[in-house]
Amino acid sequence: MKNKIIIFLFTVLFFLETNAQCAMCRAVLESEEGQTAAEGINDGIVYLMAIPYILVAGLGYFIYRKYNTLKK
């Protein structure tokens, strides 16, 4: 159980530091003076990428819980 918590925390912390911009977006946004637009675009891409994984994980947990409840 302790290993699962450590792996989960590592995954979440590693996920927060990702850069998800494609080469075209990066080239356009790096030419700007301020980096606020680039950070906003990057956060939006990561947010859109995370939602399907969270939904699938929630569904998997629900099925796992339901299966174990019926087994007992």
Model confidence, pTM: 0.48
The length of the chain in residues reads 72
Residue 20's pLDDT is what?
A: 56
- The answer for residues whose C-beta is within 8 angstroms of residue 50's C-beta and 6 or more apart is 15
Domain boundaries, the chain: 2-71
Residue 59's pLDDT is what?
A: 95
Residue 2's pLDDT is what?
A: 79
CA distance 13 to 7: 10
pLDDT tens column, 3-58? 888 888 777 776 655 555 677 776 777 776 767 777 777 788 888 888 899 999 99
